[in-house]
Amino acid sequence: MTCAALFSCRALAADGVSSYLPKASPADLFPGADRFGEPQGDPPIVPVYRGDQLQGFVYLNSDFANATGYSGKPIRVLVGIDPKGVLTGLKLVEHKEPIVLVGIPEKRILDAVNKLVGVDMGGVARGAAPAPQVDIVSGATVTVLVIGDSIVRSATKLIKSGRLGAQGKAVTSATPQASKAIDPDKSEVRDWQSLVGDGSIRRLFLSVADVNKAFEKTGNGAAAAHPEEGDPDDTFIDLYVADVAVPTIGRSLLGDEGYDRLAGRLKPGQQALVVAGSGRYSFKGAAYVRGGIFDRIELIQETNSVRFRDRNHTRLGSLAAEGAPDFPEIALFTVPPELALDPTEPWVLQLLVQRVVGARDKALVTFDVGYALPDIYLKRQPTPAQAAPAKSSAPSSATETREVGTPPAASDEEPLWMRIWRANTVKVGLTVVALGALTLIFFFQNFLVRRPAVYVWVRRGYLLFILVWLGWYANAQLSVVNVLTFANSLLTGFSWEYFLSAPLIFILWASIAAGLLFWGRGPFCGWLCPFGALQELLNNVAQALKVPQFRVPWGLHERLWPIKYIIFLGLFGMSLYSTAFAEQLAEVEPFKTSIILKFAREWPFVVYALTLLAAGLFVERFFCRYMCPLGAALAIPGRIRMFEWLRRWPECGSPCQRCANECPVQAIHPEGHINVNECIYCMHCQELYFDDHRCPHMIQVRLKREKRQAMSSPSMRPGGKGPATVITAGGKPVGVPPVDAITPPAT
- Rg of the Cα trace of the chain? 34
Task: Give the residue among 730, 743, 733 at the shortest CA–CA distance from 696.
Answer: 743
Q: What angle do CA 212, 215, 218 make, to 5 degrees?
A: 155
Is a pLDDT exceeding 50 seen at residue 396? no
Going through 154-234 in order, the beta strands assigned E by DSSP cover 179-182, 201-207
Is a pLDDT exceeding 50 seen at residue 611? yes
So what's the pLDDT on residue 716?
58
Q: Quote the mean pLDDT of the chain.
A: 79
Is a pLDDT exceeding 50 seen at residue 6? no
Chain-centroid distance, C-alpha 360: 27
Total residue length of the chain: 747
Is a pLDDT exceeding 90 seen at residue 468? yes
pLDDT-derived band at 278, boundaries 50, 70, 90:
very high
So what's the pLDDT on residue 733?
46
Terminal-to-terminal C-alpha distance of the chain: 76
The torsion of the CA quartet 180, 185, 186, 187, rounded to 10 degrees, works out to 130
Q: pLDDT tens for residues 631-652?
A: 999 988 877 777 777 888 888 8
Q: pLDDT tens for residues 719-739?
A: 555 444 444 444 444 444 443
Is a pLDDT exceeding 50 seen at residue 1? no
Query: What Å distances lie between residue 712 and 463, 719, 720, 728, CA to CA?
Result: 47, 13, 11, 20
Can you tell me the mean pLDDT for 322-344? Answer: 87
Decide which of 332 and 127 is more confident: 332
Can you tell me the mean pLDDT for 53-67? Answer: 87
So what's the pLDDT on residue 399?
31
Residue 43: is the preceding peptide bond cis (ω within 30°)? yes
Can you tell me the mean pLDDT for 55-73? Answer: 79
Is a pLDDT exceeding 90 seen at residue 537? yes
DSSP symbols for 655-675 = TB-HHHHH-TT--B-TTS-B-
Can you tell me the mean pLDDT for 423-440? Answer: 90
So what's the pLDDT on residue 66?
75
Is a pLDDT exceeding 80 seen at residue 109? no
Q: pLDDT tens for residues 139-155?
A: 556 677 778 888 888 88
Is a pLDDT exceeding 90 seen at residue 697? no
pLDDT-derived band at 136, boundaries 50, 70, 90:
low
So what's the pLDDT on residue 593?
87
Is a pLDDT exceeding 70 seen at residue 160? yes
pLDDT-derived band at 62, boundaries 50, 70, 90:
confident
Decide which of 610 and 145 is more confident: 610
Decide which of 259 and 411 is more confident: 259
Is a pLDDT exceeding 50 seen at residue 327? yes
pLDDT-derived band at 567, boundaries 50, 70, 90:
very high
Is a pLDDT exceeding 50 seen at residue 303? yes
pLDDT-derived band at 713, boundaries 50, 70, 90:
low
Is a pLDDT exceeding 90 seen at residue 276? yes
Is a pLDDT exceeding 80 seen at residue 614? yes
Is a pLDDT exceeding 60 seen at residue 394? no
pLDDT-derived band at 358, boundaries 50, 70, 90:
low
So what's the pLDDT on residue 70?
57
Is a pLDDT exceeding 90 seen at residue 166? no
Is a pLDDT exceeding 60 seen at residue 387? no
Phi, psi of 708 (to 5 degrees): -65, -40
